Structure 1
Amino acid sequence: MTISSVRLDRVFREIKELVPIDGLELLTPSTVHGVVPQSSLDSKPQQAFREGYRVAPAQPNDFVISLSSHAHGIEWCGLTGGISPDYTLLRPIVDTQYVRYLKYALKSQYVISQLGVFKTGVRMGLRLQWNKVRYCTIDLPPLPTAVELSDHLDRATSRIDTLLAKKTRFIELLREKRQALITHAVTKGLDPNVPMKDSGVEWLGKVPAHWNVFRFKQSTFSCQNGLWGADPNGVDDIECVRVADFNRPTLKVNPDIPTLRAVTEKERSGRLLKRGNLLLEKSGGGENQPVGQVVLYDRDASAICSNFVAKIELAPGMDQRFWNYQHHAAYTARVNVKSIKQTSGIQNLDHHQYLDELAVFPSANEQTGIADHLDRATTRIDTLIAKTECSIELLREHRTALITAAVTGKLDLRPAA
């Protein structure tokens, strides 16, 4: 197979023209779905719309260099619309029949590794400038070979993508089952034959007749806001648990990289976290993930929580695992939403109002029994989820390797002799 290595500026030209946004749909590059309407994204990037805002006019089969192309490649555009000048819009100058091949080549590890060399800035300020990226190379085979490779990759990646979709859906169903198990156990108990009564509370429904219905606050000893502290100084440094450290699927704290803040001994008084504390998200959230998540602090590390989090210390006789599960059941039922106050685009939870909501109070022994049951059941589900996620990662790696092999001349499509 004869393949030529060519620079990107021999394949694309940069579209520098900017036109008013009026009448054009704003498009945004997505690492998963390619270039999509910004309105379709759950988390919408902030754009500085103002009178006279101008965009690059995109058309089908253009390509876009995004702020994350150094890690995910260059995105294909199948739509007509406007691209923010924060991105670089490219238009092929080769035969349009090459476009399918280019879609694969520009997302290959071979190209991504080159793009990473040219990134400038840090974090959200990362940029890839065309005057440098233009020198990246791709392998460009003769057109008939490119079409044949594209056909092969279409078939192979379609099979992989179908399997990925099935596995992803399986994980969604497992998480739904996990939540249903939690809600049922904490509101109905474990005995299917126990007499029931109407709780008078919409989210609880019927509950065991011998259970009490009180307010959440009656399960707590205290609820204290956290503290952000000052920049680390090497003397007063302590781990500070943030909302970003909440592991929402497991309802626990799981900091990948602990955040250190300087907090004096006086400021720490009453704020140090203890194993068994619950942590309540007080600020943050969004439309699809409202503020008010509760997780369990089950670590022994000396730490405080940030000012966006409140530490809940439970009253004597309350099983922290059971109450973690019940708070999660309430969160799933959106009980917390009534206590959210919106200020300057940030959701804030009125924890006094939230803890005034009604909950069920089984006996201490029943709380522990329900928590033990849910620990076992959720562990089994979490193990299955982890195995499925691992298989998804392997499939994605195989997909990437297959594409890279195809666009670098390492895939032989000749029939066996």
Structure 2
Amino acid sequence: MSYRTQIRRKVKGVKVYSITQAILKSTKLWLPPDDEQTTIANFLDKKTAQIDQAIAIKQKQIELLKERKQIIIQKAVTQGLDPDVPLRDSGVDWIGEIPEHWEIRRSKFLFTQRKERAWKDDVQLSATQAYGVIPQDEYEEKVGRKVVKIQFHLDKRKHVELNDFVISMRSFQGGLERAWARGCIRSSYIILRSLEDIDTNFYSYLLKLPSYIKALQKTASFIRDGQDLNFENFSKVDLFIPPLKEQNEIAMFIVQQTSLTDIATELYQQQIKNLKEYKTTLINSAVTGKIKVPELV
């Protein structure tokens, strides 16, 4: 029986375990001869260093893929797909030059607040940086853990429609979140609905651009004061509006161009997971004598 298993079977408590000296004294340890201990330690030092190096290389590859993806998104969203289109100065610092036929507009004239209270059949939603605004049950499945659900006063929460955008407590870090489902969310969040036809995919990319997020951060001292972003902050950052057909084309282009990047990223992430599992298994097998450890030359 492993040392950890012995401890777990003897400790008491629910969330915070209490490990006493008596428990520690009652556990059994295996003690190889000194020369074997040295051999095992040297073997694991070498092997785990090789594994860590392989993981670091793959993590670097993931970072490079993310940078490439962001470059594709930034260029397509802010300049369009025609390399020969005439550009003009937008007059807005965070935007810079844009195709001359694109419109600049105050955010509040493209989006307005949705202030409806939660409907009776609304599911509870979670606003997440990684997955957008999704049902809490779906979020729990993705992250493999439970989240706290509100049991009372659900009628005080705000109603969200599919393809709305949500300003959450983390929007100053990661931009606005797109709603992938209808439901309700905490009342402190700001729900935005578009005032005209837009391509939601296009604005999903635009409202998470690093340059847009920096512009949001400059609108107030909310970070220092611990305040959430509000509609007034959002309204201070102008947006650009390509023709709807171009919005559609740009969004489709980004999906096509970044799909292979996403596949490669997932592959590297799986490889990293496998290496970490192998490292754990290797250490356990070596220190418990399940594998024969060779002498290092």
- Alignment TM class, shorter chain as reference: 0.7 to 0.9
Alignment of 1:352 onto 2:245: no
Task: Please name the residue that 2:163 is paired with.
Answer: 276
1:120 pairs with one of 13, 18, 38: 13
2:265 pairs with one of 385, 393, 413: 385
- SS of 1:239's equivalent in the other structure is coil
Tell me the alpha carbon deviations over residues 198-251 of structure 1, each in whole angstroms, 9 at most, x when there is no partner. 112222121111111112222214344988x9xxxxxx68532234xx143x55
More helix by share: 2
Does 395-404 or 128-137 show the bigger shift?
128-137
Distance 1:225 1:404 in 2: 56
Given the two structures, how large is their TM-score scaled by the length of structure 1?
A: 0.61
Tell me the alpha carbon deviations over residues 40-95 of structure 1, each in whole angstroms, 9 at most, x when there is no partner. xxxxxxxxxxxxxxxxxxxxxxxxxxxxxxxxxxxxxxxxxxxxxxxxxxxxxxxx
Task: Tell me the CA shift for residue 398 of structure 1.
Answer: 0.4
Task: Please name the residue that 1:96 is paired with.
Answer: none
Distance 2:235 2:18 in 1: 49
Alignment of 1:319 onto 2:199: yes
Task: Tell me the CA shift for residue 407 of structure 1.
Answer: 0.8
Distance 2:38 2:150 in 1: 56
- SS of 1:383's equivalent in the other structure is helix
Cα 1:276–1:178 change in 2 (3 A) is same
- Show the 5 A alignment for 1:259-274: 260-262=149-151, 267=156, 271-274=158-161
| Larger RCO: 1 or 2 (CA < 8 Å, sep 6+) | 2
Distance 1:344 1:128 in 2: 39
Given the two structures, how large is their TM-score scaled by the length of structure 2?
A: 0.83
Task: Tell me the CA shift for residue 128 of structure 1.
Answer: 4.3
Cα 1:252–1:374 change in 2 (3 A) is farther
- Show the 5 A alignment for 1:193-272: 193-224=84-115, 238-243=122-127, 246-248=128-130, 251=132, 253=134, 255-256=139-140, 257=146, 260-262=149-151, 267=156, 271-272=158-159
Instruction: Determine what percentage of the aligned residue pairs are the same residue.
Output: 23
Distance 1:150 1:335 in 2: 52
Task: Tell me the CA shift for residue 354 of structure 1.
Answer: 2.1
2:55 pairs with one of 156, 161, 164: 164
- SS of 2:278's equivalent in the other structure is helix
Alignment of 1:148 onto 2:39: yes
Long gaps (5+) in structure 2 = 141-145
More strand by share: 1
Task: Tell me the CA shift for residue 272 of structure 1.
Answer: 2.7
- Show the 5 A alignment for 1:2-21: none
The size of the alignment, in residue pairs, is 285
1:226–1:310 contact (8 Å) kept in structure 2: no
